[in-house]
Structure 1
Amino acid sequence: MKLRNRLNTVMALLALGATPAMAVPLTLQATGLPSYMSQGGYQGSFDASFLPKNFAVSSLKFSFLFIDDGDVIPYTTGESVNSAPVTVRQASGSPGSRQAGRTFTDTVTTTVTMPRTGMGEKESVKLSFGGADYSGATTEIKSDDIVPSRTYIESTSVKYVKNNTNVSCLKTQWEQGTANCQQVTTIVQKQYQNRIVTTDYTGEIVLGGSLADDRDLLASLLRDRKLDFSLEVLGDLNFFGATLDIDFMPIEDIVMVPEPASLSLFGIAMLGLGGVRRKRRA
């Protein structure tokens, strides 16, 4: 009888050293949301109805992915701006000819810049779990490009002058190479170009974090076997899914892990039990 009482004491000590089992990882997918979201509010949830009756949560992390749908950017055209005329002189005589060093072309160019400004749609989203809010937006990308469109020649004229001056000379003098007479061909042209300034918003929005420290959310998950959330979307976004990663442990699942002191007591008790049995056999 004394031996049995000792064994009962040992088992009670072992029970005091009980330790929970390892946590079980689980991934839930969000439900109730469309794959394309225009501007407005949305409601969704994570269904956890298959969790055990009683459980503890050691980790609770979420991740949402949205991607810009690639809207067409509208452009507005502003007033054109003309640059001051720029004159470029080039020798244009045929090499080896009598007039080679006295033949030039003056190109007078005015650049007409037509500004176009485009503004894309900025997308953003706010995620709410109860009183916890998380938000993100697409990335702003700016560009400023010059795109030539066409060149228009307004006029072409030929004149004969002396030594890069405005003093006129005769064509025959230029042909004979006398009086330092030069031939100058003047081309007046306009060069048109577009200056395109664009502000776009694009890319992906990733919202993620941990909810393990939010006691209200954990209580809601335990009570309702689901976790509700809401979204406020500005702009247009493609929704690529959301996950909720849970590490949980069923409360009923208990593994007895004795402490070192309990093991010692258990060993002493087993030795005592063996001694009693040998004494009875003798």
Structure 2
Amino acid sequence: MKNNVILVVNPISGDVDKSELIDEVTFFADKENLNLVIYNTSGVSDSDNIKALYATYAPKRIIVAGGDGTIKMVAEAMETLDVIIGILPAGSANGLAVDLNLPSEISENLEIAFHNDYMEIDMVSINGKKSIHLSDLGINAEMIKNYEKSSIRGKWGYALQTVNTLIDLEDPFIATITGDFPTIECEARMIVIANSQKYGTGVSINPNGIMDDGKFELVILKNMDLVVLGKIITGNMPIDVNDVEIISTDQAFITTNIPVSFQIDGEYCGTETKLIIEILPKQMKVAIPTPPLKII
């Protein structure tokens, strides 16, 4: 009897046609003597539909072809179930895949997604919403808002909107941050709530990030000039505490003096003046680039 595997495909993520990817996954599953069940997301009742498929087929693995938003949706649907999530990066930036050091070749990713061992990664709750990767207040969220309005996708789209956002840079906001650490009150351009290290563009924002340590980091980018912001955007994190401060914790509360643009895992969420943040340990099992165990 064949083992079942569900493939969840976001057909519009990254503005890339997924037909070739689906063909490769189908060929791989046939070669491995697996029964592949394909589900294309529509944005309507996807979580409930995936739960129903799980109840019918009871797979040990669900493979996700999409970006961070699709991965998070599947993880939340499966949060009480014992299932491993394999990732085939197919979004605009693929931040989680970048942090997991997944290869760029689909053939290598297929081996990892279908056969490799997993790690149990944490999530972060922010005002009751879950983040699996990187969320932030400030300039990057403003850039994502502009990107979502743009017709240019991929890394070029991000680069263009980064320039446009810096040109239209407004005054910094004032943030008050409390938790199990001395209260911080400062001007800031951006505050990152980080469960990992890198944005999907490859920029390292949180060098100390570990996705399964029961902690998240607050990366506070203070009232810095365009030169320092440019260094961060190009992946050169400044080490001067006057520019950047990093706090590792398992809970925090942030208030701002004005509404500030906010994003979760690359999705713009409007503006916020208050964030209640806490770690959610070991929320999802994700296949990682380690020697394969052939466990299905």
TM-score range, shorter chain: under 0.3
Between Structure 1 and Structure 2, the one with more helix by share is: 2
Relative to the length of structure 2, the TM-score reads 0.18
Q: Which has the larger radius of gyration?
A: 1
Between Structure 1 and Structure 2, the one with more strand by share is: 1
Flag the structure with more relative contact order, 1 or 2, with Cα contacts below 8 A and sequence separation at least 6: 1
